[in-house]
Amino acid sequence: MTVSLKQLRKTFADGTDAVKSIDLDIEQGEFITLLGPSGCGKTTTLRLIAGLEEPTSGEIYINGRQVNDVDPGDRDIAMVFQSYALYPHMTALQNMTLNLTVSGLPKEEANKKALEVARTLGLENLLDKKPGKLSGGQRQRVALGRAMVRDPVCYLMDEPLSNLDLKLRELMRTELKRIHKKDKVTTVYVTHDQAEALILSDRVTVMNEGQIQQVGDPIEIYGNPANEFVAEFIGSPSINLIKADVTEDGLSAAGHLVSKRIISASNGIVTLGVRPEDVVLNDGQSDGLQGTIEFTEPQGGVAHAYVKLEHSEKVLKNREYLVVNIDVHESVKIGTTVGIQFRDDRINCFDSQTGLSIKPEK
Amino acid sequence: MRNPIRKAVDVAAVFLVAIYLAPIYWISLTSIKPMNEINSKEPVWIFEPTMEHYVQAFERFEFGKALLNSSIIVFSATFITMILALIAAYALSRMKMRGADVLSLFILSLRFMPAVVIAMPYYLMFLKAGLIDSHIGMIIVYVGYGLPFAVWIMRGFLKDLPKEIEEAARLDGLGWLSIIRRIILPLSGPGIAVTAIFTFVFNWNEYLFALYLTQANAVTLPIQIAKMVDAYTVLWGTISASVVMQLVPMVVVVFLLQRHMIRGLALGAVK
């Protein structure tokens, strides 16, 4: 285990509970993401691991050693900041070698090490430049280089790509993935961008209001969310949440049977989570849920159709329209009435009161 | 065609600069005028320049000694003020401390007092401590009086430095003092320059404390120049020459420091 968090809590002086007792074990060589909306405690958790914040209670272990009272510089970790935090008065090379020289490595050796890292990042021609003379992407690489040159047991990355434009972000994302695949250094990565989390991570930790909602690999997080929050937070466009009644035959929405799953719910009501790609539209001739296509949003290869259901407000929990993925080449007429079916094996059910996932009985 | 408003502003600026520079020009001119032409009823513009006033300032009024005193006292006081101000301002701007804002305003409020109110207590204290008419005594007074203002200005500058840079430095293994020396100090150039200029200029021109607390040994330039006026004569030429010489170190210091006053040194650190 590279990093272990035991009942970690952080309450700030103003009384804000940023992190509420979290437990997390991060394996050697793992790329794990802390994902969640703003203010969910992900950055605070990262800063606690880094030693930039002191925990209110709980324990932090890095490589088996409890580090609660260890200075950030002695934790054998390297951090990449959202704002890069390069030293503006130092050259890229000095930025990269400061830690090495501070820890007593002779200057020549430090420079040699930095040059090796610079080569892998394509920075060798920029080493004598100061951050002010570098572009955003180059600064990001220097920040990454500064972390890599230290050879730490763990990288901590705080939204490192969020200041880059879309194209550069994609490029750097691939670069990060390549570096991780090559070096296999344990990485804790904070982001609010779910696409980034799903693409990069071995495991994703979804956080909300200072608590871990679910930890799992990207497929599990997407396909089997532990609760309504995770279901809704992951996926774009977000999942359709449908109010359904538990009946003897299965689950029904607005009086129409939508699933044959047998589920027991204390109050007879559940919330169904159906991803836009798990909705199938038909001609609307058969008896079932029906709706009218109000508009579509082409997104390149696919398009999203927004379907207004009869009594939408009674059926849909989180929005006005049912969102359905359709083939962009499929000719869909706005205003057409369509029948709606769900792929039964892909539906998620949640308790309507607690929001927790309910597994079907059969 | 240039904007007429812009043109008017330019003219006004030139006029303002002329008003500020006129006394300096006149005093420089007076310092090299022969005695009889200084005292003539009509202003004299063309004359044979002389260095006699400069010579007199040194020979008759011990200008050299006062210059040395001022230099020792003011440079030392400014240097010590800057070091203490940097450390105090860093603590006030960074360390999580209850009431840091109130405390910095309180520190500044020490400067609201008229100097004359504290000159007397200083005199009595220094009399007991044997610090009257000593360099150390004057340095203590100038550091004490200059520090609140210096801390306050420096705090404003340091608050603007991105916190992440220091956090990165902590992760790089630097301690507090190394962070100040290797990161904060090089990045606070503009703040340090501005504060040092204010502190230096104030100390260099300070008159009241020096008047109370010095007699012969530690007399500074403003006091020495004032001695050139006595009950019977005003030596305008010598005074002018001394003032010109007093101005020189100030101009040099400001000139040397002002190149650090460029903004945007921290550019490129974040985003």
pLDDT digits (tens, 9 = 90+) for B186-229: 888 888 888 998 899 999 999 999 999 999 899 999 999 988 88
Whether residue B270 is predicted with pLDDT greater than 70 in this model: the reply is no
pLDDT tier at B263 (50, 70, 90 boundaries)? low
pLDDT tens, residue by residue, B65-115: 999 999 999 999 999 999 999 989 888 887 777 777 788 788 778 778 888
Contact A349, A263 (CB under 8 A): yes
For residue A81, the chain B residues in CB contact (below 8 A) are 164, 167-168
Shortest CA distance from B175: residue in chain A = A73
User: Directed axis angle between helix B236-258 and helix B52-61, to 10°?
Assistant: 90
Cα–Cα distance for residue pair A259/A358, rounded to 1 Å: 14
pLDDT at A4: 94
Name residues whose C-beta falls within 8 Å of residue A205's C-beta, 6 or more positions apart in sequence. A24, A32, A33, A34, A35, A212, A214, A215
Find the residue in A nearest to B270 (Cα): A83
Q: Do B269 and A84 touch (CB under 8 A)?
A: yes
Residue A1: per-residue pLDDT: 67
Residue A262 contacts B where some CB pair is shorter than 8 Å: no
Q: How many helices (H) and strands (E) does chain A have?
A: 9, 21
* Residue-averaged pLDDT of chain B: 87
- Look up residue A321 and give its amino acid: Y
User: Considering only CA atoms, which of A151, A157, A176, A296 is closest in space to residue A237?
Assistant: A296
Stretches where chain A sits below pLDDT 70 are: 1, 361-362
- Position A202 scores a pLDDT of 94
- The complex scores an ipTM of 0.83
Given this model, what pLDDT does residue A42 score? 94
Tell me the C-alpha distance between A207 and A201, whole Å: 15
Rounded Cα distance, A247 and B115, in Å: 88
The DSSP output letter for A329 is T
Residue A110's pLDDT is what? 93
Q: Are A160 and A143 in contact (CB under 8 A)?
A: yes
Nearest chain A Cα distance for residue B98, angstroms = 10
- Measured between beta carbons, the chain A residues lying within 8 angstroms of B178 are 102
Q: Do B167 and A84 touch (CB under 8 A)?
A: no
Contacts of A50 in chain B (CB under 8 A): 167, 171
